[in-house]
Amino acid sequence: MRADYYISITLDTRRAIKTGRTKDNSTLEQPKGDNRKYPVRLRVYTPPPNRRQKLYATKFELTKSEYESVWETVKPREKYKKLRGQMQSLLYKAENVAEDLHPFTLEQFERKLFRKAGDGISVKKQYEEVIKECRNNDRLGSVNTYVYSMKSLSKFTEKRQDFDKLTLYDITTAWLNDYEKYMIKDQGKSLTSVGIYLRALKAVYNKAITEGEIDREFYPFGKRKYVIPKGRNVKKALNQNQLSALFHSKAETPEQEKARDFWFFSYACNGMNIKDIAHLKYSDISEGVIKFYRAKTINTSKGNFKPITVHLNQYAQEIIMKYGNPKVSPNTYVFNIIKEGMSAEEQYTKIKIFTRFIDQHIKKLGKINGLPEEISVNWARHSYATTLIREGASMEFAQEHLGHSNLKTTQNYFAGFDTETKKEFANRIMNFNLS
């Protein structure tokens, strides 16, 4: 047995099992004295520095004397041999599961120990585990991605086989090519949609490989197999004239004014997205500087992420003064988008509603002023990034201000800008006027 975990069978004597009922059948009675039975548990312990212990329920219930006769003796009597064998089988199963985990974690151990036969290679079960994990970590955007991906795969398979019986072995290169054709020709979806759904499936497959449920030799993705289409993720941005027109535009309604104010607050704060704006607290602001971690990367860059620093200009400070909550304590949210005590689901819904509000009214204001009709709050981040390059910022500078965990992400980000933006960059590199 490895030194990163210890597994044993133990009698949990903290509380006796209630058996029998009173005459009126209202309460349970406790057996007396040595006749009291206790639950037998599977004890799993991980030593320091990550010391943890967990007791798992089993079907066994024994008195103290029975436990001694069955488990703590070298040679149990004949009547106890079968029971001892069953308990040993459970212990062996647990040890075999643990031995295959590298590294050992209680979460993976528990998942694999109590899995039914076949669940490890079941596409549906693997999806459900990933969705549960995302929900437990409040990654609700990812939950939706996996849910929609699973629904799409289920619809594709309904004429072929029962989705409940679809296994990872069924996901072959040919199967994936058929799915792509189905999505594009039959469902009228784009390559971007295909890519989103199949990247979720790829993540599920990678999880199963990591857990030892299926060998990598069956992996259907990659070079000379099936390559997931990336689609063209064009970063739309406003140029300087368009930014000026939007900034100085006259709002026809209070809603348009508020949408414009928060659009430019995002732009002024390093392209901060609405989720991060919603989560801003007064404790994040000190001496005219905001320091925050991007919610989008905090789960994927643990141990390798830095706070984004935003120096508040006069405009951003005015927006806080105009829309900010009264500062009751450092933990008060700056804006009235989400509230203290909301669940992750409630916060997610409120942020989606507020984002939709901005998009709806910024489009109306943009249309009035001759701006692209597809403008949205995402354009604020892209416009900020474009302005960085216009002003001669290096990729490293842009990486820090946009909060990307690595430079390649920043390079790919700028590679996605539309043709007009790239044309403008090309023209500006030969502008040597000093004025």
pLDDT band (50, 70, 90) for residue 240: confident
Residue 22 pLDDT > 50 = no
Beta strands in 293-374 (DSSP E): 308-311
Lowest mean pLDDT among 114-128, 186-200, 242-256: 114-128
Q: Say if residues 228 and 199 touch (Cβ distance below 8 Å).
A: yes
Lowest mean pLDDT among 16-20, 270-274, 354-358, 359-363: 16-20
> Tens of pLDDT along 198-223?
999 999 999 999 888 899 999 999 98
> Tens of pLDDT along 325-382?
999 999 999 999 999 999 999 999 999 999 999 999 999 999 999 999 899 999 998 8
CATH fold of the domain at 119-218: DNA polymerase; domain 1 (1.10.150)
The boundaries of every CATH 1.10.150 domain in the chain are 119-218
Lowest mean pLDDT among 103-112, 223-232, 286-295, 387-396: 387-396
Backbone angles phi, psi at 52, to 5 degrees: -150, 150
Residue 134 pLDDT > 50 = yes
Q: What pLDDT score does 122 carry?
A: 95
Residue 146 pLDDT > 70 = yes
Q: What pLDDT score does 423 carry?
A: 64
Q: Say if residues 310 and 272 touch (Cβ distance below 8 Å).
A: yes
Tell me the average pLDDT across 137-155. 93
pLDDT band (50, 70, 90) for residue 110: confident
Q: What pLDDT score does 435 carry?
A: 47
Q: What pLDDT score does 29 carry?
A: 56
Percent of the chain whose predicted confidence (pLDDT) is above 70 = 84
Q: How far is CA 137 from the centre of its chain?
A: 7
Residue 307 pLDDT > 90 = no
Q: What pLDDT score does 231 carry?
A: 65
> Tens of pLDDT along 377-428?
999 988 888 887 777 666 677 666 776 666 666 666 665 555 666 566 556 5
Q: In which residue are the tokens 């003796």 written?
A: 73
What average pLDDT does the structure give for the chain?
86
The boundaries of every CATH 1.10.443.10 domain in the chain are 240-428
Backbone angles phi, psi at 315, to 5 degrees: -60, -50
Find all residues with CB under 8 Å of 279, minimum gap 6, and list them: 292, 295, 333, 338
Find all residues with CB under 8 Å of 50, minimum gap 6, and list them: none
Instruction: Say which DSSP state 216 is in.
Output: G
Lowest mean pLDDT among 36-40, 74-78, 395-399: 395-399
Residue 247 pLDDT > 70 = yes
End-to-end CA distance of the chain: 74
Of residues 352, 312, 388, the one with CA closest to residue 143: 352
Superfamily of domain 240-428: Intergrase catalytic core (1.10.443.10)
Of residues 348, 346, 349, 326, the one with CA closest to residue 336: 326
pTM summary value:
0.67
